[in-house]
Amino acid sequence: MIIEIRTREKYSENEETGFIGRMAHAGLKVKAARLSRLYRVEADFGRAEFDRLGAELLTDPVTETYSLGRPKAGIKGWRVEVWLKDSVTDVVGESVKGVISDVLGKEPKTVRFGRAYYVACDSELKLKRAVAGTLVNETVNKFGIEKI
């Protein structure tokens, strides 16, 4: 299960502006963007338990919302997902795994931490180039782009 956390729209301007600026610096004109944190939790938990993790553990309820699976994109363009490669130790994932065990009393198999970027722009190729040049280091990261 992937739990996706987003900043509520009324608080998200700063992070989106920063992201658009970075992309512009990498030669990509971005019209609009939304950013998310991703937690891939591999566990035999029920939906109610994943909901509890999203609501009580991983989200700041004042400024953020969560969804199990993908939220509505709200943007026409591409969705970029960035993860650490499976062979790379994910310390955020490890910490979250420990806390999940404290909250639910049972330990998930693995937790991995990633990020998603919803990007409205004209060119997938340019987007790919900009992502490779700014958001990921292919020594340790893997990423994927899909049309939304």
Q: Which residues bind other proteins (CB under 8 A)?
A: 25, 85, 87-89, 91, 94-95, 133-134, 137-140
By beta-carbon proximity to other proteins, the closer residue of 63 and 137 is 137
- Of 50 and 83, which has the nearer Cβ to other proteins? 83
Minimum Å gap between C-beta 82 and other proteins is 12
Q: How far is the CB of 106 from other proteins (least distance, A)?
A: 17
Question: Are the C-beta atoms of 113 and 2 separated by less than 8 Å?
Answer: no
| Nearest to 78, CA basis, from 44, 28, 42 | 28
Residue 3: is it exposed, middle or buried by C-beta count within 10 angstroms (0-12/13-18/19+)?
buried
Shortest distance (Å) from residue 90 CB to other proteins: 8
**Which residue lies nearer to other proteins by CB, 70 or 142?**
142
Radius of gyration of the chain (CA): 16
